[in-house]
Amino acid sequence: MTALTDLTLDVAAVRADFPILDREVHGKPLIYLDNAATSQTPSAVIESLSDYYRRYNANIHRGLHTLADEATAAYEGARTKIQAHLNATSAREIVMTRGTTEAINLVANSWGRANLAAGDEVIVSLMEHHSNIVPWQLLERTLGIVIRVIPVDERGVLDLEAYRGMLNERTRLVCVNHVSNALGTVNPVAEIIREAHAADARVLIDGAQAVPHQSVDVQSLDADFYVFSGHKVYGPLGIGALYAKASILESMPPWQGGGEMISRVSFDRGTEFAGIPHRFEAGTPAVAEAIGLGAALDWVNAIGIERLAAWEQWLLGHATERLERIDGLRIIGTAPEKASVASFVVDGAHAQDIGLLIDQLGVAIRTGHHCAQPVLAHFGLDATCRASFAVYNTPEEIDAFADALEHVLGMLR
């Protein structure tokens, strides 16, 4: 584990950016360890939302007045910030969505319906979030595609030999998460992409759990599609993005129809669609939320993603050591490369009971199947407890969490 003194991060200053961390829950100081579900929001993001509604709330792109110009500039500025954060070649490659789920559904219903046919194969992994399974199952029902599943071992590591054996002339698309939300496993996506491209297949990477915790370079990865959500990277709910190579986006038909995604509508001569990325952004977008996401990325970059990641890795190591001392506790997901997620079960105690009781002590963790039922079933489970860490968490909070957990287990046993 990295020595704590080697990490140049002023955690007290970081925590001061988050007003919610000052509150109490059931008379106890809040210890928020549910960051894989939703991270908390710094003041800079909250202020960006307030500033928009107080100073220049207007619909974008179609207005000629000052407020519309300012709102448009801020919205498109957020797109440029996302482009820079992912190192996309152009802002035209960034489509604003409501989040990861909508982005995957966009790819499935636009690229998928235009390019997949009966018998074509889509490869997913066993550890996918439901949002990267169900859209492809819907195409399986309607188009007759074949879904193949990459297995995982008992550590929660993908079986890459099995994956390579699946690739063939019928493989059209490979869909894997960069980081597992249920296990914390960091997948070797660069290798997965390289192998898929050698088989002439496209690749979609679910980056919802990666973008908050590590640097992502879509050009270096050579990803065809990369998706993420704002609310997991200190931004607002209801906003996210799809990155796709410009050449792919230009070949994709619109998914939803309405205002903004057209250049001309006529009953006589038909409809002409807007260019990318606006072709995929029908209707009034979440303007304030997009601006807030841009502010969140600014906040992350001001800290430095490498420093942020190093702190979270230290926290994960400290938490793992504490949890391993607890009698009857088993960590689910022990891959050599992990993000800051610790999922676990405890003999003689149900996850839901642990989650409810530990909340009474001010500790917020996630319990359940984490929208990843297939991989939990692989471990013979229907639920785990999941503690997930962010840059504002502290070793003292982890110690208090472990103490609270032991207290709760004493009650349940």
* pLDDT digits 0-9 by tens, 353-385: 999 999 999 999 999 999 999 999 999 999 999
Residue 22: Cβ within 10 Å count: 10
pLDDT, averaged across the chain: 96
Q: Which residue has the higher pLDDT, 3 or 24?
A: 24
Write out pLDDT tens, residues 304-355. 999 999 999 999 999 999 999 999 999 999 999 999 999 999 999 999 999 9
Domains of the chain (ranges; CATH) run 4-42+304-412 (3.90.1150.10), 46-302 (3.40.640.10)
Mean pLDDT, rounded, for 220-224: 98
Confidence of residue 2 (pLDDT cuts 50, 70, 90): very low
Give this prediction's pTM.
Answer: 0.97
Provide the token pair at 7. Answer: 């990490």
> Among the options 25, 49, 371, 381, which is catalytic?
371
Q: How far is CA 247 from the centre of its chain?
A: 24
Cβ contact 82:94 at 8 Å: yes
Detail the DSSP E strand segments found in 134-230: 146-150, 171-177, 202-206, 225-229
DSSP state of 254: P
Confidence of residue 262 (pLDDT cuts 50, 70, 90): confident
Write out pLDDT tens, residues 125-159. 999 999 999 999 999 999 999 999 999 999 999 99
Percent of the chain with pLDDT over 90: 94
Q: What residues have CB less than 8 Å from 371, skipping those under 6 apart?
A: 129, 130, 131, 181
Which residue, 78, 68, 191, 175, is CA-closest to 129?
A: 175
Q: Is 371 an active-site residue? A: yes
Confidence of residue 201 (pLDDT cuts 50, 70, 90): very high
pLDDT of residue 114: 98
- Give the CA-trace dihedral at 194, 201, 180, 393, to 10 degrees: 60
- Give the CA-trace dihedral at 182, 183, 184, 185, to 10 degrees: -130
Mean pLDDT, rounded, for 194-208: 98
Mean pLDDT, rounded, for 107-134: 98
Provide the token pair at 172. Answer: 């059209």
Confidence of residue 3 (pLDDT cuts 50, 70, 90): very low
- DSSP state string for 276-312: TTGGG--SS--HHHHHHHHHHHHHHHHH-HHHHHHHH
Provide the token pair at 275. Answer: 């260019």
Residue 154: Cβ within 10 Å count: 10
Mean pLDDT, rounded, for 63-84: 97
Confidence of residue 63 (pLDDT cuts 50, 70, 90): confident
Per-residue burial over 217-232, b = 16 or more CB atoms within 10 Å of its CB, e = otherwise: ebeebebbbbbbbbbb
Confidence of residue 7 (pLDDT cuts 50, 70, 90): low
Confidence of residue 270 (pLDDT cuts 50, 70, 90): confident
Cβ contact 139:108 at 8 Å: yes
